[in-house]
Chains A and B, each alone.
Chain A
Amino acid sequence: MDEQINKQVDKIFQDSLQSHRENPAAETWEVIEKQLDKENEKAYAIKKSRNRWITYGLLVILIAGPATIHDHWKKHDIADAIPTSTHNRNLSGDTQIKRIASAINNQAQGKTVKKNYAVQYGRDWVTETKEVGSVIENHELYAEQNLPAKPLLVTGQGIQDLTVIKPEKRPFKNRISVMPYFSKEFAGYTLSDDDATAANGKEIEERERNVFSASLGFYLDYRINKRWVIQSGISYSWSNSVIDSAKSYAVKDDGGGVQFKFNTISGYGYLQPSSTIQPAVGDSVLTAKAYSQLHYLTVPLILSYSLQMNRFSLLVGAGASINFLTSATVETKIYGPGFSQDESAIPIKGLKKINYGVLVKAELEYHMNSTWGISLTPCFKNTLSPINIHSALSAYPYNIGIGIGLHYRL
């Protein structure tokens, strides 16, 4: 019986309150809104700070990375050739000779190899790569011959006085190369209609199309070893789009005035009719076909894998890029009641100054000689975050490009 009454009590509450709705107080939303504003500001600050640190990080990698690798490489070579103790400059001349000879002997004895070895120029020790030959001699014998206190290269051909060997003119020949290039690109946008209340998002998307995109720049390659290459550089890219004729409506601008707002996929611009026309909010003008231009400076950082095939080499790599907006404009003509006016170089607003992207790139090079080569460079780029803010659409540009470049090895 008790169970039945319990069920009855539960049912009374369930049935009665099932469809109950109670409007919260108006102030409740105000409190939520204030809190949201605070959190948005906080999130924006964090994002801004994160972007700044990413920029700094990439710059540090770009600047310090090659230098560190170079330094590491150099130390590694010396360590290969000289036992740690030979760095001690206080050793007697004979000891140094013996140890260097010993290092060479130990590493190359009985082999015909190219090897790094230490050479002394004045007071400085540097490493050089030379063919060692068949190193079979016992350094002790040379030490006994009361040889002069200067470094020697011990080879199958005898004892060579290293001080007369000139250093190679380009100790890092072929390690660094430069490639100026031009790339024709086929660009598009991945769009996200974030503003559900912006009914015109779809319309903006449909009336704009990219007509020309290209990049011009150079890659600086640093060969870490036989297989791996780090690439960076800088490029200037531009992207032109055509926007079909449409109506633009007058809205309040950021400064509180009223202007005709012209929407593009990437952002928006305010059209400025002559000063005699004072639009009211909701007024409209017809715009002719418009042309928008976006210009970016891009700094990539790519890690590539290299495959050699006789005179050809193939580099396949992936990396990240920082894109700096240099200019964004739109030009069109507006038609209103009783007037028409050209609108040129209207700045596109709502674009981020910096955005980040990823890229995948291949590079097929034909080596004309040891210094020059010609490359065909297909590349795919995509941005990681929308290039715009406060727009009806969030635009993530991507492009597929095919470039041609000329390699010069320093």
Chain B
Amino acid sequence: MFEKEQNIPVRELQKLIQGCLARDKACQRRIYDIYGPSMMSLCLRYSKNREEAEEVLQDGFLQMYKCISQFKNNGSFEGWLRKIMINCALQRFRGKIHRIVLIPLNDVQSFLTTPTDHMDRLSERELIRLIQSLPPIYRMVFNLYVFEGLKHREIASLLNITEGTSKSNLSDARSILKKQLTPDLKLAR
């Protein structure tokens, strides 16, 4: 939704997709080179660290090569690939046992690996690290709501939680992040 479509001519993309259908290694590599970086960014947001993100990326690309025949040319390929990556991240999330911990806002600082004081000084990597530092369920809800634009009803269904829990998790995630972003935001609250 937020990533730009890669600057790749439609015809070339179609050829690459055809190549992937024929299991052509060069085409598979080219697709990976084109979409790998943007998908890596997405996977980083859904994972707790880089290692996990790379595993999600691997799963996502393998899944994409396997199911590429299901891609209909009438939509955005990047959008389709994003969905696959998100599904892989969700599968990984569902496969793990997560303890849902209620965190007092005062203790939020302990979850952050790189505390920062002001948003101006935050680089993209640091912002990603902030998201990564969220408890898994908060991270999922935050990503799905903020970056994918899903409704709480949809998030609840995806994560097998109630709509109320989704709202509450988003609120908590925001509170944690707000505290890290700027003292001004903290004060405003």
Question: Would you call B146 an interface residue if the criterion is a C-beta within 8 Å of the partner chain's C-beta atoms?
Answer: yes
A16:B54 contact, CB within 8 angstroms: no
Q: Does A25 contact B (CB under 8 A)?
A: yes
| B116 touches A (CB below 8 Å) | no
Residues from chain B with Cβ under 8 Å of A2 in the complex: 189
Q: A9-B181, A14-B146 are in contact. Are A194 and B40 (CB under 8 A)?
A: no
Give B3-32 as 1s and 0s: 1 = Cβ < 8 Å from A's Cβ atoms.
110000000100110110111111111101
Interface 1/0s, chain A 35-50, versus B by CB < 8 A?
1100110010000000
> Across the interface, do B127 and A13 meet the contact criterion of CB distance under 8 Å?
yes
Instruction: List chain A residues, Cβ under 8 A from B18.
Output: 192-194, 196
Q: Would you call A195 and B36 a contact (CB within 8 A)?
A: no
Contact of A22 with B188 at beta-carbon distance under 8 Å, contacts A32-B61, A195-B24, A196-B15 already known: no
Given A22-B40, A36-B28, answer yes or no on A193-B15 (Cβ-Cβ < 8 Å). Answer: yes
> Is A18 positioned at the interface, with any CB of B under 8 Å from its CB?
yes
Chain A residues with CB under 8 Å of B89's CB are none
A19 interfacial by beta-carbon distance below 8 Å: yes
Q: Does B45 contact A (CB under 8 A)?
A: yes
Instruction: Tell me whether chain B's interface is mostly helix, strand or loop, or mixed.
Output: helix
Residue among A5, A10, A13, A194 with the highest chain B CB neighbour number at 10 A? A13
Q: How far is the CB of B177 from chain A (nearest CB, A)?
A: 6
Complex formed: what's the CA distance from A171 to B24 in Å? 58
Using A5-B178, A9-B178, A12-B119 as known contacts, say yes or no to A194 and B37 having CB atoms under 8 A apart. no
Give Cα distance in the complex from A21 to B185, angstroms. Answer: 27
Q: Which residues of B contact A24 (CB under 8 A)?
A: 36-37, 40, 54, 57
- Name the contact of A39 in the complex, choosing from B54, B66, B128, B171 (C-beta under 8 A): B66
Q: How far is the CA of A393 from the CA of B177 in the complex (A)?
A: 54
The docked-state distance in angstroms from the alpha carbon of A195 to that of B19 is: 6
Given A2-B189, A14-B146, A17-B2, A197 and B62 touching (CB < 8 A)? no
Residues on B with beta carbons closer than 8 Å to the beta carbon of A6: 171, 174
Determine whether A31 belongs to the interface, using a CB cutoff of 8 Å to chain B.
yes
Determine whether A1 belongs to the interface, using a CB cutoff of 8 Å to chain B: yes
Interface status of B87 (Cβ within 8 A of chain A): no
Instruction: Find out whether the CB atom of B36 lies under 8 angstroms from the CB atom of A23.
Output: yes
In the complex, what distance in Å separates the CA atom of A183 from the CA atom of B155? 64
Interface size range of chain A in the complex: 35 or more
Query: Which residues of A lie under 8 Å from residue B107 when comparing CB positions?
Result: none
Using known A-B contacts A14-B2, A16-B122, A16-B124, determine if residue A31 contacts B181 with beta carbons closer than 8 Å.
Answer: no
- How far apart sit A25 and B19, CA to CA, in the bound complex (Å)? 24
Task: Say yes or no: B40 contacts A23, CB within 8 Å.
Answer: yes
Across the interface, do B2 and A18 meet the contact criterion of CB distance under 8 Å?
yes
Bound CA–CA A147/B127 (angstroms):
109
Tell me the nearest residue of chain B to A27, going by C-beta. B54
Residues of A within 8 A of B119 (CB): 12
Query: A17 near B37 (CB under 8 angstroms)?
Result: no
Q: In angstroms, how far is the closest chain A Cβ from the Cβ of B89?
A: 15
Whether, in the assembled complex, A394 has its beta carbon less than 8 Å from a beta carbon of chain B, the answer is yes
What distance in Å separates the Cβ of A357 from its nearest Cβ neighbour in chain B? 20
With A9-B174, A196-B24 given, is the CB distance from A31 to B37 under 8 Å? no
CB of B3 within 8 A of CB of A18, answer yes
Q: Is the CB of A19 within 8 A of B4?
A: yes
Q: Any chain A CB within 8 A of the CB of B71?
A: no
Contact with A28, one of B15, B21, B58, B128 (Cβ below 8 angstroms): B58
Known: A5-B178, A196-B26. A10 touches B146 (CB 8 A): yes
Nearest chain B CB to A35 CB, angstrom units: 5
Q: Which residues of A contact B41 (CB under 8 A)?
A: 17, 20-22
Asked if A195 meets B181 with Cβ closer than 8 Å, knowing A9-B174, A19-B3, A21-B40, the reply is no
CB contact under 8 A between A36 and B122, given known A17-B128, A24-B37, A193-B18:
no
Interface residues of A in 225-269 (CB under 8 A from B): none
| Smallest beta-carbon distance B14→chain A, Å | 9
Whether A21 pairs with B38 at a CB distance below 8 angstroms is yes
Given contacts A9-B174, A19-B4, A22-B41, contact A40 B127 (CB under 8 A): no
Cβ contact within 8 Å between B23 and A40: yes
**Residue of A6, A40, A394 contacting most chain B CB atoms (<10 Å):** A6
The 10 closest A-B pairs by CB, nearest first: A194-B22, A21-B37, A196-B15, A196-B19, A18-B2, A22-B40, A20-B41, A20-B124, A197-B26, A24-B40
Residue ranges of B at the interface with A (Cβ–Cβ < 8 Å):
2-4, 12, 15-16, 18-19, 21-30, 32, 36-38, 40-41, 44-45, 54, 57-58, 61-62, 65-66, 119, 122, 124-125, 127-128, 131, 146-147, 171, 174, 177-178, 181, 185, 188-189
